[in-house]
Structure 1
Amino acid sequence: MLVFGKTPLYLGICLSAWITATAENNIEPKADNVRWVSLDFKTILTWTIEASAHTYTVLHSEDDRDWEENPDCIRLREPECDLTNYLEPLDRTYAADVRTEPATVDYDDILEELPHTYSPPFNPYRESNISAVEFTVAFADESRVIINITEPLTGLHRQGKQLSIRDVLKKDLKYKISYYKSGSSGKRDVISDSSLAEVSNLEAGEGYCFMVAAFIPSRPRNTQHGAWSAQLCASRGSNVLRELSLGAWVGVVFTLIMVLVTTVTVMVLCCRCYQQRHSVHTTQSSVPI
């Protein structure tokens, strides 16, 4: 009787375990680590997922308003969604909702039951990273140089034109120029309102090195600066720019050595040919007729 009494208990435990395991296997995997990746106003929402047959649909909301679907971000199998063209106006706070969907789903019936993962808030105008700029340096006179900055292009287009960061940020965009005299550790900064900047009060005859970054003082402190450019150096004597990198110096030295070796080799061969011809001529001249 004791054995028969335990049988229903064991069956109940096994059935409960099977139901639990089945339920766990049927749970739709939620998107994890949802985050914004934005460079020069090209903005992509990314997340991590487990391998499964599920798809993901992304909705976004502007300033806590109604959620909107994005035509390019429905039933995705890859864990990313390009929202660049949907975050307008730029100077607004946006949030995204990544919803997990099974392979077959009646979307209208179970919309509210789908697993959701929400993104942190994001403001493209104030938080998109700005890439490093390129620039040139030219001496105006002994004590002044002109910095000519090429402004990066953004991921935004208007009427067939790709916008630059100046087109987007307008008067909020400035440039910070950091420079120092060759052989000195003391740096100075100059802020310019335009992409054509002047650095003055330089010591005549001295070489200077320059770096440039976009600067948006209206932004929060941690996103005010764009990436710093490569460092360029110039001296008034040669007015030749060069990047201070070990690879560049190695290349220059190697080239000089090769030119020197080639020159010496040619000279040695020419000398040997001359000596051989001279020796033959001397021998022929000494033979009696």
Structure 2
Amino acid sequence: MGCGADFAITLGFAIICLNCGLGSGTSLEPVTNVTWKSFNFRTTLQWAATSEDSVYTVRVSGEQSNWKKKPECTRSKITSCDLTNLIQNVADTYTAEVLTYSATKTEDVEEPPLKRSTAFQPLKQTDIGQATFELIEKNKTEVQLTIKDPLTFIKFSNNTFKTIRDIYGSNLEYIVFYWKDRSSGKKSLIAKDQDKRIKVEEGVTYCFSIQPHIKSPFKDGQESSVKCTRSQRDSPSDYGIGVYVLIIIGALLVIGIIIGVTVYLCRRKAVHNSAEMNPLKMVSA
């Protein structure tokens, strides 16, 4: 057999092998940088694509659950997948996989390239956001903080959302930070319930913020915005007698001006009416 025939056989064999490789999906590459992102138990899986011609399927499994997929994250070009509704058991530990497929081929590949995530435990690893609170001044020496627990993306059986207290129970408490206005001396105390009363000095403005604290598993949430009591120094009772005197003088001055203008206008009107009633008298005069 000649060299030309050998070359043709070799080329044909190479083409067949190349087609087999493409058909089996060996030319595809697994994704990289697979990471979990979770905030108040809303959890997404993110990754970096390796080819513009690839689509991805995500599946997740827990130690207490089987592999599951989301239709929105099946053969899609997206590079993140919200898995919250598939990991509602926050005490379980989950692992996810991202499978890579060709965007142009519709047939299934027996063993597509995949990248597996690290283990994720929502109860321990989700980030907790800010809580809000109402500041109520009960009297001159006592205030009350009424705290509203943050909502999560975990649902009850009736489809309403749970709060972090529903999930963490007695392991949830709040660190209350407070300080005198314009002072750098910040103090803190623990609020185990949603209502907390705090003693303050009369006539002094105090500012407050709160931060969720989970005792077990140990972690802190985000600190809230700051709220301050009304400044009692700005109330009318604290201005002194001099301010009241000035207010009274100003009021009397305004009243005097109004009376003077009114009298002047009445006199002018009276003169005008008299002239109309006695025109001859006005002429002879």
Contact 1:139 1:236 (8 Å CA) reproduced: no
1:118-267 equivalences in 2 (<5 Å): 118-160=116-158, 161-200=160-199, 202-220=200-218, 224-235=219-230, 237=232
Shift of 1:106: 4.1
Deviations 1:31-57 (A, max 9, x none): 222211111111111122255232111
SS at match of 1:85: helix
Q: How many residues align?
A: 234
Q: Retained in 1: the 8 A contact 2:61–2:68?
A: no
Residue 278 (structure 2) aligns with: none
**Amino acid corresponding to residue 150 of structure 1 in structure 2:** K
Q: 1:30, CA displacement in angstroms? A: 2.9
Q: Partner amino acid for 2:223?
A: W
User: Which residue pairs with 2:92 in the alignment?
Assistant: 92
AA at the equivalent of 2:86 = Y
Query: CA–CA distance in 2 between the matches of 1:93 and 1:118?
Result: 14
Look up the equivalent residue of 2:133 and give its one-letter code. F
- Preserved CA contact (<8 Å) 2:144 2:196: yes
Long gaps (5+) in structure 1 = 1-7, 241-269
> Normalising to structure 1: TM-score of the pair?
0.68
| Distance verdict in 2 for CA 1:116–1:195, change over 3 Å | same
Runs of at least 4 residues of structure 1 off by over 6 A? 280-285
Identical counterparts, % of pairs: 26
Q: CA deviation at 1:87?
A: 1.6
C-alpha offsets along residues 61-91 of structure 1, whole Å, 9 cap, x if unaligned? 324x886132333222211111112224212
Q: Which runs of 5+ in 2 are unaligned?
A: 1-6, 236-257, 276-281
CA contact (8 A) 1:204 1:236 kept: no
CA contact (8 A) 1:142 1:236 kept: no
In structure 2, the CA distance between the partners of 1:88 and 1:239, relative to structure 1 (3 Å rule), is farther
Give the residue type in structure 1 aligned to 2:167.
V
Please tell me the residue identity of whatever aligns with 2:69: N
The amino acid across from 1:167 in the alignment is D
Change (3 A) 1:117 1:282: farther
The alpha-carbon deviation at position 144 of structure 1 amounts to 2.2
Deviation at 1:28, TM superposition (A): 2.0
Secondary structure, in 3 states, of the residue corresponding to 2:110?
helix
* TM-score, normalising length: structure 2: 0.68
Report what 1:258 is aligned to.
none
| 1:76 alignment partner in structure 2 | 76
Distance (Å, rounded) in 2 between the aligned partners of 1:135 and 1:66: 38
Provide the rounded CA distance (Å) in 2 between the counterparts of 1:239 and 1:149. 27
Determine helix, strand or coil for the equivalent of 1:110: coil
**Residues 239/137 of structure 1: CA separation in 2 closer, same or farther (3 Å cut):** farther
Backbone CA RMSD of aligned residues: 3.8
Compare CA radii of gyration and give the structure with the larger one. 2
